[in-house]
Structure 1
Amino acid sequence: MDWDDAFANAAYIPGGAEYPDKWAAAAAAFRDQALCELGLSYGPSPRQRFDIFHPSRLAKGLVVFVHGGYWLRFDKSFWSHLAAGPLAHGWAVAMPSYDLCPQVRITEIGNQIAQAIATAAARVPGPIHLAGHSAGGQLVARMTTRRFGAVWQDRVANVVPISPVTDLAPLMQTSMNADLKIDAREAQTESPVHLRKPKMPVTVWVGGDERPVFLEQAQALSTAWDCATVVAKNAHHFSVVEDLAVPDSPLTAAVVGLKD
């Protein structure tokens, strides 16, 4: 098995290299017209900042979206437009950046996300719903299974990992691990598939046109946690998350907790 190829996304998506610029432009345009607070600090490093987008009325609660990029790239500025869907339903949306590997380990990134959620939760009352894409899917899933001694965890009412990395062990066989530095212990403690099923509802979301490894990782978490899985037709790893920008999309409905 060529694990570098297995986890390669852009090479198998038409125009894959163009997506980051497209996301960044859409996100910047959205920030220009949104009711938002930008660059709020939740920790000491320059990347420990989050943006929060507010609805025009009292928020029903808080959605926290955690971005992906294999814990190696991107920040909050690429994803602002994905707040549009939850905002339309009256939810505030927080989007954190975090320090990247190899400056920190994946375990430490999880600690940072927990602090980001705590800081955002102090600003918005009500239930907390978590969503994350790819590596961000691992991070939000991990938030449900690790106790941080924080009040905000009792407020988490819904979790949607989108195309999540749920088992870190295969990444140990990729060239990325020169920077990720995953070892056997971290693969065990930070992989959601090895951890206890959380009490709150979890829906695993994955694109039907994703690389096989992501379909396998999604199914592995669904099996381990006995939770719902949605395979979105005609969606690949980059397009599947874009439905969060659409108020009436099934993905937005899942994240804000709307029932059929």
Structure 2
Amino acid sequence: MTAPFYELDWRTMSQQDLDLGLNNGVAVPASADIVAGWDSRSAELRARYSGHLDLRYGPRERNRIDFLKCTDGAPTLLFIHGGYWQTRAKETFAVFAGGPMAHGINVALIGYTLAPDATLDEIVAEIHRGLDFLAAQLPDLGGDPDRIVASGWSAGGHLTSMALSHPSVKAGMAISGIYDLEPIRHSYLNVKLGLDEAVSRRNSPMMQSGGALKPLSLVVGSAELPLLRKQTADFAGHRAKYGLPLTYEEIPGANHFSIMDELMSPTGRITTLVRQLFERS
């Protein structure tokens, strides 16, 4: 009988089992085709909202933000892409602006330098620098600088949790994120990331005492890898322990990729949670 996901201990796993336990591409064989679909639909949406693309917030090539505007004076959802901090790009994820934009929410998609060209400390700093830029530019772009919610998927879920401390961020929507980096440090993923224990600890929300006193919604798919389900459940417990505002739920039947359908759709569960965060903040 397989142990429940919440009883898993990555420290007792073999190297092979740990690596496979974090490998979403192997777990979802159709993932390459799914992402290719995201790419094509995102290109169409970027072409439709091409007025404020690739706004430069820093000196490095990927230090750019796409601002997709649907409504003057509206709040903004900042979306941070995933890829275990070492793959993918903001351009792939524009399609997920469709759900929030259907409700009058502007969406900004942020790029960042990937490992190994940047350390995790540097990646987190870039997200904060991008938020500085976005908050300063929103009045000219036609958005409300006082209503920014950070969001992200996978590694972007981790970066969302790290962005909550930014003064311009009012709330967070973290999807299938990583909140304890120690399993990552001991896995195949660390070849490019180069985490040592100190970097892992200071960038692991699960290892911090407390956290930002701002609403955070945590979601993960019920069909995701057990280690990822445990990451989200454990982080929800961590925030509850410190009395920090949160919601936590599993999306029934969703894997690491299909869960994003719930943000793409105007009636998707994650889109609804995003709307609720704006209502609360």
Q: TM-score scaled to structure 1, two decimals?
A: 0.92
8 A contact 2:163–2:169 mirrored in 1: no
Give 2:249's aligned amino acid: V
Match of 1:108 in 2: 122
With 65-74 and 223-232 compared, the bigger mean Cα shift is at 223-232
The answer as to 2:159 corresponding to 1:144 is no
Letter in structure 2 aligned against 1:241: M
Q: What residue in structure 1 maps to residue 204 of structure 2?
A: 191
Segment of structure 1 superposing worse, 31-40 or 211-220: 31-40
Matched, 1:248 2:267: yes
Flag the 1:36–1:82 CA change in 2: closer, same or farther, 3 A: farther
Tell me the equivalent position of 2:59: 44
Q: Which amino acid aligns with 1:243?
A: E
What SS does the aligned partner of 1:79 have? helix
Instruction: Report the Cα offset of residue 14 of structure 1.
Output: 4.1
For 1:149, the equivalent position in structure 2 comes to none
Contact 1:129 1:256 in 2 (8 A): no
Q: Does structure 1 retain, via aligned residues, the 8 Å contact 2:135–2:168?
A: no
* Unaligned ranges ≥5, structure 1: 146-152
Residue by residue, what CA displacement relative to the aligned partner does 1:142-188 show, whole Å, maximum 9, x if unpaired? 1124xxxxxxx333222111000110000111122111011111111
The answer for the alignment partner of 2:10 in structure 1 is none
1-side partners of 2:222 and 2:129: how far apart?
Answer: 33
Residue 147 (structure 2) aligns with: 127
Query: For residues 34-73 of structure 1, what are the structure 2 equivalents within 5 Å?
Result: 34=49, 36-55=51-70, 57-73=71-87
Per the alignment, residue 22 of structure 1 pairs with 37
Query: Are residues 1:78 and 2:92 paired?
Result: yes
8 A Cα contact 1:59 1:91, kept in partner: no
Between the aligned partners of 2:274 and 2:73, the Cα distance in structure 1 is 15
Q: Which amino acid aligns with 1:136?
A: G
Of the two, which has the highest radius of gyration? 2
Aligned-residue offset at 1:114: 0.7
- In structure 2, list runs of 5 or more residues that go unmatched: 1-12, 139-143, 241-245
Distance in 1 (CA, whole Å) between partners of 2:109 and 2:171 is 16
Aligned match of 2:214: 200
Aligned residue for 1:132, secondary structure, equals: strand
The two structures, once aligned, show a CA RMSD in angstroms of 1.6
- The residue aligned with 1:222 is 236
